Amino acid sequence: MNRLPLSAQVAAVLLPFAFLPLVDRNAYHLDLMTNVGIYVLLAMGLNVVVGFTGLLNLGYAAFFAIGAYTYALLNLHTGCPFWWGLPAAGITAMLFGFVIGLPSIRVRGDYLAITTLGFGEIVRITFNNLDDWTGGPNGLLGIDRPVFFGFRFSVNATPYYYLTLALVAVTAYLLFRMIRSKFGRALVAIREDELAAGCMGIPALQVKLVSFGISAFIAGIAGAVFAAKQTIVTPDSFDFVLSVLILAMVVLGGMGNIWGVALGALVLGVLPELLRGFAAYRMLLFGLIMILMMIFRPQGMLGGQLIRRELGRRPKEGSDGAA
């Protein structure tokens, strides 16, 4: 498989999921997997900052919220269609990523975590209090669903499932290309030793700022899909618990491993539903599984071996390479 072009490798990994709606027509299962796809996008986005760059972000749900509210406001107030609102949501979240990144990248460790945590709460509380713009605690309702070549998405989860699957494929492909590029190597160098990276001529502050922007852009895209799918957004959907959950997906799957964080999102997205039969003990079992995982497999399910393999390979010029 390593000899295949990168695009073929991404397709080979995700192709089995394309047949899921043909095999399982249960509407609830498809809706669950659509939500998992959104989690995968968020985990891949947070992995850029946490896994590749080594910066702890505890307010990632804020960028998810900014993307969702951007599309909702554009659609409700200007009639902006989804396909225009999608990149607008990503760009808006990216700009806020630069804004929070400017002061945040100058601090490290616990201070960085507190800074991003504060930003996440500020965004949620702001959306909760701007009643005239955001509807306050009641949120925004009546958001339009996407229309694709005359086909309007409905309550049926299948179109959203394929939309999120396509976005996951594109995101994974671009992240694989990024991590093997000069910029990707700079990210990992900063994660391993920022001082040594600076001595090698890597502009650490600028690189970290760009990583914040890329990470926020992916969250904004996921937010727009979420808003279009739900047709309603409320501040309660973007609380601190969501940020922690996304971070847990990254850690569980393996920080710095693109498919690893996707696997972590799949596990943490599906596991609570599998434990629904143990309603009284579901969260207890969920926490116990996480604790055991961190004790016996602290590097995550797939670890960081993917990055090491990627950095050890120099793709041939004119080819999109192998993963």
Query: pLDDT tens digit string along 42-62?
Result: 999 999 999 898 888 899 999
Which of 74, 39, 75 lies closest to 60, judged by CA? 39
User: Quick check: 256 pLDDT over 90?
Assistant: no
**182: in domain:** yes
Range of the domain at 161: 26-239
Phi-psi region of 256 (alpha: psi -120 to 50; beta: other; left: phi over 0): left
**112: in domain:** yes
**53: in domain:** yes
User: Residue 130's pLDDT is what?
Assistant: 87
User: Quick check: 132 pLDDT over 80?
Assistant: yes
Which of 256, 86, 273 lies closest to 166, judged by CA? 86
Range with the poorest average pLDDT among 26-30, 232-236, 268-272, 305-309: 305-309
**141: in domain:** yes
User: Quick check: 308 pLDDT over 80?
Assistant: no
Give residue 2's pLDDT band: very low, low, confident or very high (50, 70, 90). low
pLDDT digits over 66-89, tens only?
999 999 999 999 989 999 999 999
**297: in domain:** no
Number of domains in the chain: 1
User: Residue 230's pLDDT is what?
Assistant: 92
Over residues 277-294, mean pLDDT: 77
**210: in domain:** yes
**163: in domain:** yes
User: Residue 1's pLDDT is what?
Assistant: 57
User: Residue 297's pLDDT is what?
Assistant: 80
**279: in domain:** no
Range with the poorest average pLDDT among 19-28, 115-124, 254-263, 299-308: 299-308
